[in-house]
């Protein structure tokens, strides 16, 4: 890497020495050095965002920095892992200092909120591509898996469904009387880290909703070898999403639109632990597949989420 590029990293990304106690050495050497305390497992995930595939070419760089980190922290939250370190691989078509300044601001502000250190990365030139690898710690054997749902478990979701999907429709021209919440959810998802930590030892299964509840709960069902029935009347929908459904008739949207980054988890029906704020939306059943009880009728719900190569 050229000296000028390292100056950029120093200016925008190496903003402080690592603060989290697990991070011994951060940016500046050939590798970072991490020390995980005894009795913990390392949870690792990576997500890439490509211009014109995952974000619009004119996207606000500060929001992009936030969202890139948020989607990775959301995966750690879904495992019940405590995030502590991330790496950032940047492929940039050119060095645009005002873009880098805003992007790093969005990224670093969210990292600070979650006590996460940026401990390294890579910077190359090419079509705008942003990759984060995130690392979290979870006590041995306590991670929340997709494979643990049991017949009779209740299915919960945090927050609301479909706000981000509505935000995307607004960006594409849908006129909404009150667009603020939907756009905020689309642009600045808040990873449910504290909720994920609170579910350790309580949830039988957990996933984050990146591709819509139907697809993501579908992963839990498949990996747990069970099915589920959702209750339409219980789905947590904002007034704007309810209004969108009234207007368009598209009641599937909040179940198949992506980018909500809420958690979906299952707990035994007789669970007596306090749960993080969440809404019960259905129940796990032995019969495979996803069903929906709507207006007194139960029907199979067969919709795939977003598929990258279709």
d(C-alpha 132, C-alpha 35), whole Å:
20
Residue 27 touches which of ligand ADP, Mg ion, none (Cβ within 5-8 Å per kind): ligand ADP
CB of 122 to Mg ion, least distance (A): 4
Which residue of the chain is nearest Mg ion when measured via CB?
Answer: 122
Q: Which stretch binds Mg ion (CB under 5 A): 22-30, 61-69, 122-130, 156-164?
A: 122-130
Q: Which is nearer to Mg ion, 118 or 237 (CB)?
A: 118
Residue 121 touches which of Mg ion, ligand ADP, none (Cβ within 5-8 Å per kind): ligand ADP
CB of 29 to Mg ion, least distance (A): 11
What residues line the site for ligand ADP (CB under 6 A)?
1, 9, 13, 27-30, 88, 90, 118, 120-123
CB of 27 to ligand ADP, least distance (A): 5
CB of 32 to Mg ion, least distance (A): 12
- Is 122 near Mg ion (CB under 5 A)? yes
If binding means CB under 5 A, how many residues of this protein chain bind Mg ion? 1
Q: Which of 209, 232, 229, 211 is nearest to 221 (CA)?
A: 229
Assess contact for 224 and 205: CB atoms under 8 A: yes
Q: Which is nearer to ligand ADP, 11 or 247 (CB)?
A: 11
Query: What element of type H or E holds 87?
Result: strand 82-92
CB of 120 to Mg ion, least distance (A): 9
Q: Which is nearer to ligand ADP, 129 or 222 (CB)?
A: 129
Q: Which of 193, 190, 106, 137 is nearest to 23 (CA)?
A: 137
Residue 283 touches which of ligand ADP, Mg ion, none (Cβ within 5-8 Å per kind): none
Q: Three-state DSSP class for 55? A: strand
d(C-alpha 27, C-alpha 259), whole Å:
30
DSSP type of residue 53: T
Q: Which of 114, 123, 305, 300 is nearest to 197 (CA)?
A: 114
Q: Which is nearer to ligand ADP, 120 or 212 (CB)?
A: 120
CB of 25 to ligand ADP, least distance (A): 9
Q: Which is nearer to Mg ion, 88 or 214 (CB)?
A: 88
Dmax of the chain from CA atoms?
67
Q: Three-state DSSP class for 32? A: coil
Provide the edge-to-edge strand list for the sheet that holds 262-267. Answer: 205-209, 262-267, 154-157, 279-285, 227-231, 289-294, 297-300
Q: CA quadruple 68, 157, 143, 216: dihedral positive or negative?
A: negative
Q: Which is nearer to Mg ion, 122 or 302 (CB)?
A: 122
Q: Which residues bind Mg ion (CB under 5 A)?
A: 122
């Amino acid at each position: 890497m050229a000296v000028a590029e390292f100056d950029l990293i120093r200016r925008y990304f190496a903003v402080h020495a690592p603060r989290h106690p697990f991070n011994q050495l951060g940016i500046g050497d050939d590798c970072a050095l991490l020390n995980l305390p005894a009795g913990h497992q390392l949870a690792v995930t990576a997500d890439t965002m490509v211009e014109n595939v995952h974000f619009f070419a004119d996207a606000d760089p500060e929001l992009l920095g936030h969202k890139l980190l948020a989607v990775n922290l959301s995966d750690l939250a879904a495992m019940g892992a405590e995030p502590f370190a991330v790496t950032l691989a940047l492929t940039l078509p050119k060095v645009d200092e005002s873009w880098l300044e805003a992007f790093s601001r969005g990224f670093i502000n969210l990292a600070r909120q979650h006590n996460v250190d940026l401990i390294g990365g890579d910077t190359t030139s090419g079509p705008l591509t942003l990759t984060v690898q995130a690392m979290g710690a979870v006590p041995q054997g306590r991670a929340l898996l997709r494979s643990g749902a049991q017949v009779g478990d209740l299915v919960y979701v945090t927050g609301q469904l479909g706000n981000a999907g509505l935000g995307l429709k607004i960006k594409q021209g849908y006129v909404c009387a009150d667009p603020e919440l939907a756009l905020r959810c689309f642009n600045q998802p808040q990873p449910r880290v504290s909720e994920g930590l609170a579910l350790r030892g309580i949830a039988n299964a957990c996933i984050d909703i990146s591709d819509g509840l139907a697809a993501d709960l579908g992963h839990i069902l498949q990996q747990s070898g069970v099915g589920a029935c959702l209750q339409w009347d219980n789905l947590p929908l904002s007034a704007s999403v309810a209004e969108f459904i009234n207007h368009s008739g598209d009641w599937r949207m909040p179940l198949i639109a992506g980018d909500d980054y809420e958690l979906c988890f299952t707990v035994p029906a007789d669970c007596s632990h306090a749960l993080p704020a969440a809404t019960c939306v259905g129940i796990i059943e032995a019969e495979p597949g996803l069903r929906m009880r709507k207006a007194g009728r139960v029907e199979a719900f067969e919709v795939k989420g977003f598929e990258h190569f279709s």
